[in-house]
Amino acid sequence: MAQATPDNDAAADAARHLFAQECTFVRGVAKLEDLPPPGLPEVAFAGRSNVGKSSLLNALTGRKTLARTSNTPGRTQELNFFNLAGRLMLVDLPGYGYARASKTDIKRWNATLRDYLRGRPNLQRLCLLVDSRHGLKAGDVEMMEMLDQSAVVYRVILTKTDKLKAGELKACAEAVMKALKDHPAALPEPILTSARKNGGIAELRTDLAALADAA
């Protein structure tokens, strides 16, 4: 484990300050032509339905209702854009997997998502959320291959880590790290998070705040 240094502490403080700033909903987008003009650096969040995207976004920004949470998978059916302090755009992408929707709707969402990933010049990072209880599933690997093809840099974020024992979590993280070696657009190490217990949230904030600072 890396030891704390003044530089690391300063970066963590700056990240905490950034994510404590005003974060406002910009728009929900179902069609590519409705995307907001590319401007701020964007960080997108993707994952299987019910992986905990909304809970993670709420934890990152210290809010309870920024992103809607639900026990019904597939409630996020648009690309939802949130402006963080005029410095970073957070994009909540439609969940994949168990969405209760028609095949036509799912096909349309997937086409919009692919076009967004391939053609968004200011997309700096994608956070691919993976439920630590289940590890990488076929849909996750499919998304990783799409990101590799689109040359979108992404990091796997393991969610719900508080629900595993230490040994189980270690095994999951090691399996994911091994799989990431075969994906050229992936960053090599996942970040382990628990929205319920705030685990890994500071680390993820610091990682993402660096993208705003580099813009």
Strand intervals (E) in the chain: 23-29, 42-47, 79-84, 88-92, 123-131, 154-159, 191-192
Q: What SS3 state is found at 128?
A: strand
Judged by phi (left if over 0) then psi (alpha if -120 to 50, else beta), residue 158 lies in beta
Q: Tell me what pLDDT residue 121 has.
A: 93
Q: What is the pLDDT of residue 108?
A: 74
pLDDT tens figures, 75-130: 457 899 999 999 999 999 988 865 566 777 777 777 788 889 988 999 999 999 99
Query: pTM of this prediction?
Result: 0.90
Q: How is the chain split into domains, by residue range?
A: 6-214
User: How far apart (Å, rounded) are the C-alpha atoms in residues 16 and 91?
Assistant: 19
Please compute the mean of the pLDDT values over residues 174-182 and round it to a whole number.
97
First to last CA, the chain: 29
Alpha carbon distance 203, 192 (integer Å): 9
Q: Beta strand 79-84 with 23-29: parallel, antiparallel or unpaired?
A: antiparallel
Identify the architecture of domain 6-214 in CATH. Answer: 3-Layer(aba) Sandwich (3.40)
